[in-house]
A and B are shown apart, each in its own frame.
Chain A
């Protein structure tokens, strides 16, 4: 009833990366992830990548969104598309024997999504608005966006990930962006729980192999980090946040370890921090961010001052090396896409240099950057 793999003429050259990992070879399910270098930092308009991500798995030339969902659930699979600053990731989790079906499903999303005007209004738009509503109701998320804006200003990484309607985006913009990023050079395919041979064969026979050739997307200039400050007045809990940029590949391991250190009881004031996060971009840049949250603005002020004072005084983060490794291994195990391995040998002591700052909430009561 459901059609299996369609055969298409095999092309000789394959430029995109195909990686299969046998990590879960015995499990009856498999994951297929296609990672597109087309996250928010590469989009020409704010929120464009988010809308494109939400358009994934809508109607294509082959089948409607409804038919895809109905067929997929009968085969025992689930589809998901997510966006961040670096990537748009299309992911399918399914019972192993349906691999060809899901390779083709993702291929036809990349190759011939219909971009119907009414889908933008009836389905994509409301879903994007919901994503935004969820994010803006969380002051930590708001502070995170503010930190990126303070650090990278209007360059790619400083832009918001989610579409907020401030900048107009039309259906044509989305179509053009899809044509730009969905090219052979710009995608990577990862799978777990399948044979690499099978994966390569099915991908070779799928529309992915006939995706147009383009060029790997790059930002015009390398991101430049500033020691900025952004303050957002808002109702609800207060958040004061600090971000430390990594401006070269060499700084990344240090910040990874610092993240593990700050989030663990090894750090005496770990209780003060609501969240510590680290994101790396293209392996050459990254941003470590930490958030102090609370209903009482004076407590938040005191805590953020304490944390920054500790960082300025210098911290011996070496004891957290192993913890950072465990965290990385756990993240790698739970992710369908590979997580970079760490070279932690040189990490020893951390002293705060350049940092950006953001405050969300009752900002009159929260400190300024130069008061930290």
Chain B
């Protein structure tokens, strides 16, 4: 019962957040200065003022923002229609889905590696506190966490392409575009190595630090002392009592990151010319492609909200205190 109420409450908040995001999503890009038509066609092309007017009418920009454009947009969204991208002339949902898979692949791999490696490192460092291993892992994590994404990306790109012959950009070699899956997969894997490595290094530090401080806190608890007194081995104490309790902050940060990294991959995607969502958002912003921007931000917001709900849901299993309330 308690769990159901708790989850219903969280669901309600998520729904409210979503509504607020929808509203913000609409307003945000329209308060930007400038003219989307000019942004789409650039400065060097000769398009007469009349043609620009006709484009403006086509995009619905000749109507006032409130209420006409707002009502139109809400109506479209209500029907599950995100509209058509101005700069690409394709349905927004189609564009988003094709990019989403690419981003999920990169982020999924990167998150998986950084979570697993970060948790192991953090656990060991906390366990072996104040040993050279701990100091080394801590130093590495702090540096990795503080490193600017763009900088690390370009360094790895130069090193990887010079010494290991790894590709300098893209998700697949141009020759392999449109080839059957079995030819493409090894090629895609080669293209993923550097961006995934960058991603892993950048996030690993954060996970390691959280895990380390969390396990340190847990290990100082009385029940750990009790467990030891009962004669459990170090390993048993660590896995049976330590790990599970130390996972709570990890779950929070993982859930938050899962949501945010969809957009956070923007720098990595730009350095490696990786064809994903972050990259798409950046181009759409430059071109002031409202429908595409709105769609992308909606997707990002929804993924943050879902990730948070997921964390709340997991809490009910991991944390007895949530269960009890």
Does chain A bind chain B? no
- Interface positions of B (Cβ within 8 A of A): none
